[in-house]
Amino acid sequence: MVVFVIIPVKRLENAKSRLSPFLTECERKEFCLKMLEDVLRTVKSTKCIHQIVVVSKDPQVFHVTKNFEATYLRERKNGLNEAVSEAIGGCVEKVATSVLVLPADIPLVTPVDLNRMLALRKDASMVISPSRSGKGTNALLLTPPNACQTFYGPYSFQRHLDEASKRRISFHKFRSQRIALDIDTIKDLTDFISKNRKDTLTYKLLDKIGMPSRLVHAHNGPT
């Protein structure tokens, strides 16, 4: 079995705008890059992954991708589903038998999580892992790669399941707190820091810029 991982990454301009009360634009860009690096480190440490494809339009993302010897696919179409579809097509041309689509903002993900997902593909054409809300899709494994159309956007988790049922393909739901924590809001950021994962590049950056103290001061209010 030949497994490719696809990681779509949005342009870093105005990235993570909901974190703007606590992070400057420059800090948010660096934050996104560190999360991407953590995800790439995890994928590189997962033995049965054959190739990593990062889909983006951002030049800074290109440089990070090259540092990890991953393939950079310049996004040519607008929209996440279109970008993922384009990447899946490229993976099929390179004889991939499965694709795993991961977001770039789940820095807690580990090789254990990915290996557990990959083990489930023997019995299912789709293995899907939800976001914390249960509405989004934070990991999607398809065997073969074109087993199902993607429906990223509002309520994507249920939409993917509906499509699997419509196509009559087998699926497994895989739940992982680490995969589920994509960092978009202040609460996500606070919860991530509380995990105390000092081994991640994301935590090291946040610690370096004093984010734990900023959040404490914000929580306590002015004195």
Residue range 89-111, pLDDT digits in tens:
999 999 999 999 999 999 999 99
Pair 172, 122: CB distance under 8 Å: no
CA distance linking residue 166 with residue 149, whole number of Å: 11
**pLDDT in the model for residue 66:** 95
Give me 213's structure tokens: 């103290």
**Three-state SS sequence of the chain:** CCEEEEEECCCCCCCCHHHCCCCCHHHHHHHHHHHHHHHHHHHHCCCCEEEEEEEECCHHHHHHHHHCCCEEEECCCCCHHHHHHHHHHHHHHCCCCEEEECCCCCCCCCHHHHHHHHHHCCCCCEEEEECCCCCCEEEEEECCCCCCCCCCCCCHHHHHHHHHHHHCCCEEECCCHHHHCCCCCHHHHHHHHHCCCCCCHHHHHHHHCCHHHHHHHHHHCCC
CA distance linking residue 150 with residue 156, whole number of Å: 8
**pLDDT in the model for residue 223:** 43
**pLDDT in the model for residue 84:** 97
**pLDDT in the model for residue 180:** 98
**pLDDT in the model for residue 215:** 83
Please, what are the domains in the chain? Answer: 3-182 (3.90.550.10)
Which parts of the chain register pLDDT below 70? 217-223
Query: What are the CA-CA distances from residue 132 to residues 30, 41, 123 (Å)?
Result: 24, 23, 25
**pLDDT in the model for residue 156:** 98
